[in-house]
Amino acid sequence: MKPFTYERVTDPRAAGMAVARTGAKFISGGTNLLDLMKLEIEQPTHLVDISRLPLKQVEDLPDGGLRIGAQAANSDVAADSRVRARYPALAEALLAGASGQLRNKASIGGNLLQRTRCPYFYDTAAACNQRTPGAGCAALRGFNRIHAIVGASDACIATHPSDMAVAMSALGAQIDLLEPDQSTRRVAIDDLYCVPGSTPHIESVLRFGELITAVILPPPPPGCQRYRKVRDRASYEFALISVAVIIATDRGTITKARVAFGGVAHKPWRSIDAEAALKGQPATLATYQAAADAAMSNAVGRGHNDFKIELAKRTLCRTLADTVQVGIGRPS
């Protein structure tokens, strides 16, 4: 690990000024950044500790939604009674991530901005456009079992590792941002991440020195919610495929549906095609299979990860069926 200086801030207004110096970077829980620093993938010369910022509250909003501070710990949000009651898919997703110790330390804002776990990104001897622009992508012809099947490009097939972000995508979350000049803006979570294209090193729309201050959850959508994660082992493992589903029916007909995948793309992948295939259709296996086919209609395997296309379809079908079975009969 290369030498660096350290500064702790307790005021969001001071955070932007502190990180304005060359080579500075925010650190919160550090559950991803410290690993990257040890490998010299990240080499900040100055760390600005934002973990003491007063951004840890979970607050009710007048419209029935929630405002979750960016410095709230993953474990605290998962255990919040309002999250568990109104947004069970989010609670399930948070509890599916990492270990109890890491969830106690990791922050909501940091979870959104964690970097890919592609092994070629972590191997500084391998070519990686996300780590070194223009270097190439070793994963294209390498062992790409965990890699992207939708939304990728020939420059990068890495996936985003967050479980939480998948549920937030299905819920239609908004992200509050604070710029160094103290101006604010809000972006939808689906607009937070950039497509890899020819510039996979540009991973999000955050500007230099911009700070995530909160996640805004809209009022809970009607229907039932479920998050399912398929992985190689039962705990402390990233998703091969994950699915967040929100679905409502009326007398056996699907009236509303939201579907988001994890482990398939550079970002949580909201499937509008699957949602369109579900809406207005009977809640049957044939409908679920049609939605799964629509969701993966543009999927591309790269060899070792070809199986993920069928796995994504089966995971969606199973999750939809289970959600219906446990109480889908709420009128929209």
Tens-place pLDDT, residues 254-286 = 999 999 999 999 999 999 999 999 999 999 999
Q: For the segment 137-155, what is each residue's pLDDT rounded down to a tens digit?
A: 999 999 999 999 999 999 9
DSSP character string of 55-72: ---EEE-TTS-EEEETTS
pLDDT, position 20: 85
Give the pLDDT confidence score for residue 110 in this predicted structure.
97
- Say if residue 329's pLDDT is above 60: no
Q: Predicted confidence band at 331 (pLDDT cuts at 50, 70, 90)?
A: very low
pLDDT value for 327: 59
* pLDDT of residue 105 exceeding 80: yes
- Which residues lie below 8 Å from residue 70, measured CB to CB, with a gap of 6+? 28, 53, 55, 107, 108, 109, 176, 211, 212, 213, 214, 215
pLDDT digits (tens, 9 = 90+) for 35-52: 999 999 999 999 999 999
pLDDT tens for 114-140 read 999 999 999 999 999 999 999 999 999
Check pLDDT > 80 for residue 163.
Answer: yes
* Dihedral angle computed from the Cα positions of residues 284, 287, 291 and 292, in that order, rounded to the nearest 10 degrees: 60
Tell me the HSE value of 55 on the side-chain side, using a 13 A CA sphere.
27
The string of pLDDT tens digits covering residues 69-98 is 999 999 999 999 999 999 999 999 999 999
Q: What is the mean pLDDT of residues 292-315?
A: 98
Place of tokens 């969606």: 316
Q: What is the pLDDT of residue 332?
A: 42
Give me the chain's average pLDDT, please: 95
